Chain A
């Protein structure tokens, strides 16, 4: 088991135990706590059974994220919890007063959440450890906080119309907070399609979807924690517990609350401070928000352990303890100072370089390669010879079609780190992009020397050999790779590319079927199969696969191919492509999308291209969209031109070649 797995095993039950401890400390009897947990688990099961026929995990009915978040999660879950409090806890014989009902409501929600966690983790497969940690720090306390707030309302209202109205209002409010929380999770997930209106709003505010959803997630948690905090603090005056065991007295003491509260609070505050510092350095709120959404609930929990319930101070700290505390503080300060002096300067240089690298990555993601290159240069000025910065700058140079400086940067990086296989692979990719498969093969040789028999390296070499015209050599490499790792995604996809080159589309489909059977979420394989369906002449299957592949809002290529497939079916794909343009930024190939939508012409799209590679793409998509609607004799020269222009490693080269083969047949 990995260290993350061990951590998950410690934190996930720890979070449940900590929340139960908070509720018990407030004066809840052990029996009522247990029964409330059981009621929560029962109600959770009831909702689970009621919603199971909709199969929301695979979502065959294609409910939108907002429908799932508000109608299937927020409203029923909060409603069921409040109903449970009203029906079972308000009248429970162990609930002596309003405070007991509120705390038991928290326990009910804890039982509900604990059961939900089990189901989530049972279905999570390989990603269970990260999910367990995430849920332990976010969803579990969130449920309890919402439950405490809902329980406070149910326990406080008087019978009658006004009480019912108030309870309904509280239900809607809590369901809305829960809905925002879940919507942020669902809509922020990879492959989700939040409403276009929301995407437009977020874009108009100059924000990006991921950041906004993280902020919404942290905000919903903070709001739930504030409501729960307000409820508990209004009930914090507790009668002094009597007739308890020594252990129970210690557990419910002021000192125990302060110790745990400070530990949680300092830990969460330190994490938030680190996240804030990283955000300042990386010039992006992402790092802070990523930490904030995990730290909000522990911070709130720490505060509640200190503030709730109110306990009398026992006695003043002795002089000896004060001296020991002051001494420990001074030692810690000295250690911190020494560490800063010794390691501070080098760490600062690394952080500065990291900051410019992050800036460069942002420019690169927006297609602003010149500014990205400049930022990476600043990173290298701060930390000369830094391999990451050199490699990133090489990528930016290559993406803008400047292959010579790209190769020079990779060579510089290789002089610093000659055993880094990834750099040889990067060099090979650059050589493929500049249509020099022979050089690519030479680059892969030292990589294979360092990692002999590596299936992905062999598959890459197979691809380069294929592009160099050595079909037999390519087949030998791919076969060797397949023997090493028959289910490796790169190997399977490379074999499919080999089949396409041979014109055997059925074999390519079989390879990709096998890959997608192994991992239905492999969008690269779905994209590749969608293209093969198109070459084969089955545009309807192509549309289905290309839709499946279209999961990253920032990547427009599957949407361009889907538009082409729609055109083959004589369907208008402009609405879908137009919607995708809203989510994408101005990065290439946005001008190609506008050209296909008829908003600009081919010349304008090519004028917007930064280099020959992008111009070849504009030519290809212009020609591909015309196949079937214009005479083959007119389209074929356009495809031939695109094929001549495009580097052999490009999908547009493969597409032009396959389409020409089909047209000529």
Chain B
């Protein structure tokens, strides 16, 4: 096997270790993107419950964006229509996840020399958070209740 092919295999193995759960959904997409194909995967869980999905997949910055974003936009009446954008971001979750995974794996490789430690860190950085999913689903339920109440933007009144 060539050095290039070996590197590709290593990268795939790293990605598989990072993804951990549901590799059957992620790895074909990874392979397609790695081979230069144009794919636009649709992420249904991300569309329906973006907060839960991003927290489940440990993408905290995206989770913050789709959680705090709608609350902040509620204070800008002209931009409140952008609220649906959070679900749209969730729909692109698979691609965002793969990009996030590639960056994190590269960062781990860049900072740690020992291969055993690298593998341990990849496993730790990837995988899923069930607690995150529960918190995210509770979030989705609360926003559903709030939408029933057709609430005003007085969301926070606690210190």
- Which residues of A approach B to under 8 Å, CB–CB? 31, 34-35, 37-39, 41-53, 55-59, 68, 72-73, 77, 83, 86-88, 91-93, 111, 115-116, 118-120, 122-123, 135, 139, 181-182, 185
Contacts and interface: CB of A to CB of B under 8 A. Distances in A.
Given A52-B151, A55-B157, 13 more contacts: A35-B60, A35-B61, A45-B139, A46-B51, A48-B155, A58-B154, A87-B129, A92-B124, A115-B68, A119-B71, A120-B156, A120-B159, A123-B156
27 contacts: A39-B63, A42-B51, A42-B64, A43-B135, A45-B67, A45-B68, A45-B71, A46-B51, A48-B71, A48-B155, A50-B138, A50-B142, A52-B149, A55-B157, A56-B158, A73-B159, A83-B131, A87-B129, A87-B131, A88-B129, A88-B132, A91-B124, A111-B64, A116-B156, A122-B153, A123-B154, A135-B159
A122 B156 CA distance: 10
Interface in B51-85: 51, 55, 58, 60-61, 63-64, 67-68, 71-72, 75
A56 B157 contact: yes
B108 A93 contact: yes
B10 interface: no
B143 interface: yes
Give chain A's interface secondary structure class. Answer: helix
Nearest to B65: A38
The 9 closest A-B pairs by CB, nearest first: A119-B156, A57-B157, A38-B64, A93-B125, A87-B131, A45-B67, A49-B142, A56-B157, A93-B124
B71 A88 contact: no
A517 to B, nearest CB: 17
A133 B6 CA distance: 58
B7 interface: no
Nearest to A89: B60
Contacts of A50: 138-139, 142
Contacts, number: 122
Contacts of B27: none
A132 to B, nearest CB: 13
Nearest to B67: A45
Given A45-B68, A49-B139, A53-B149, A88 B159 contact: no
Q: With a 10 A CB-CB cut-off, give which of B104, B145, B159 has the most chain A CB atoms.
A: B159
Contacts of B143: 49
B67 A42 contact: yes
Contacts of A73: 158-159
A15 to B, nearest CB: 15
B20 to A, nearest CB: 13
Contacts of B104: 93
Interface residues of B, number: 38
A139 B159 contact: yes
Contacts of B146: 49, 52-53
A96 to B, nearest CB: 10
Given A53-B149, A87-B131, A111-B64, A42 B158 contact: no
Interface in B103-140: 104, 107-108, 121, 124-125, 129, 131-132, 135, 138-139
A185 B157 contact: no
A55 B156 CA distance: 8
Contacts of B139: 45-46, 49-50
A68 B58 contact: no
Contact of B158 (A43, A51, A88, A91): A51
A44 B51 CA distance: 13
Contacts of B157: 51, 55-57, 59, 123
B104 to A, nearest CB: 8
B103 to A, nearest CB: 10
Nearest to A138: B159
B138 A77 contact: no
B120 to A, nearest CB: 9
Given A118-B72, A185-B159, A55 B138 contact: no
Q: With a 10 A CB-CB cut-off, give which of A49, A73, A92, A185 has the most chain B CB atoms.
A: A49
B154 A41 contact: no
Contacts of B142: 46, 49-50, 52-53
A462 B95 CA distance: 72
A334 B152 CA distance: 59
A105 B64 CA distance: 16
Contact of A41 (B68, B138, B152): B68
B153 to A, nearest CB: 7
Contacts of B55: 42
B63 A42 contact: yes
Contacts of B138: 46, 50
A126 B148 CA distance: 30
A72 B72 CA distance: 21
A74 to B, nearest CB: 9
A289 to B, nearest CB: 18
Nearest to A49: B142
Given A39-B64, A88-B129, A182 B159 contact: yes
Given A87-B132, A93-B121, A48 B61 contact: no
Contacts of B124: 91-93
B158 A68 contact: yes
B154 A72 contact: no
A55 B67 CA distance: 19
B75 A122 contact: yes
Q: With a 10 A CB-CB cut-off, give which of A42, A111, A135 has the most chain B CB atoms.
A: A42
A91 B121 CA distance: 10
Nearest to A118: B72
A108 to B, nearest CB: 10
Interface in B16-45: none
